[in-house]
Amino acid sequence: MRCRSQSLGWVFVSKMIGIICLLIVIVLANILTHYVSNPLFNSGVMFINENFWLLMLIAIIMFVGAIFRAFPFPLNLPAPIIIAIGSVFAIAFILKVFQWVDLVAGTTLYTMFWFMSFLIVPLVFLLVLASGYLDIMRQLWWYPRIGETVDDRIVHEARADEPAGPADGDAKSWEEIGVEFRLMLYDIIHRFRQEIRRK
């Protein structure tokens, strides 16, 4: 079970590679329109070109959300909101795909899914938002438990080696604040469990 988010460098590189690959595919598809005379293919490429900035907006929003998600707590708190907003734009793009399919194949998928979108959009937004914050809470819950055997010893040893007076002042890094918050959360939940068992 994953208890730590991926490193910021890995997330940045992997997402940038994904965006670059998307741009390369779009450019190659536009080049192929000069050599492929298939009307369906040309229509699909034209559809991608018309919705290019929507795709870029979705990619950028998801990229920013992934970057925030890679930060330690509490800097990762905006990530679920950003990703949830990106999922709404992704649904808008899917609706445009259905609209294009209706034009090409003569179906009525767009009308059906357009009415369903009034229920799907808020539902997906809330699900993505809730799952994002649940994932953050899970990291805060599981990380201290693992820290009992590994990380906590390192933290306590580091604190034991520190001088009595703070060398760099009272300023603390976000990582230290996140560790203290996770330890506090674990203590609260542990005491709550003990109280329940006593009853």
Residue 188 is predicted with a pLDDT of 57
Position 80 in a domain: yes
Per-residue CA distances from 161 to 93, 155, 164, 172 (Å) = 55, 10, 9, 16
Question: Token pair of 161, please?
Answer: 């080696």
Position 65 in a domain: yes
Position 152 in a domain: no
> Alpha-carbon dihedral of residues 150, 152, 153, 157, nearest 10 degrees?
140
Transcribe 110-168 into DSSP letters: HHHHHHHHHHHHHHHHHHHHHHHHHHHHHHHHHHHHHHTTTHHHHHHHHHHHS-SS-SS
Residue 35 is predicted with a pLDDT of 86
Cα gap 44→46, rounded to integer Å: 5
Q: Provide the number of structural domains found in the chain.
A: 1
Position 21 in a domain: yes
Position 99 in a domain: yes
100 and 47 Cβ atoms separated by less than 8 Å: yes
- For the beta carbon of residue 89, count every other beta carbon within 10 angstroms: 17
Position 25 in a domain: yes
Residue 107 is predicted with a pLDDT of 76
Per-residue pLDDT of the chain (199 residues; tens, 9 = 90+): 344 456 777 888 888 898 999 999 999 989 988 888 888 888 888 999 999 999 999 999 999 988 888 887 777 888 899 999 999 999 999 988 888 888 877 777 777 888 888 888 889 999 999 998 888 888 777 655 544 444 444 444 444 444 544 444 445 565 666 666 666 666 656 555 555 565 5
Cα gap 147→182, rounded to integer Å: 10
How far is residue 52 CA from its own chain's centroid?
A: 22
Burial class (CB in 10 A: 0-12, 13-18, 19+), 101: middle
Position 148 in a domain: no
Residue 81 is predicted with a pLDDT of 92
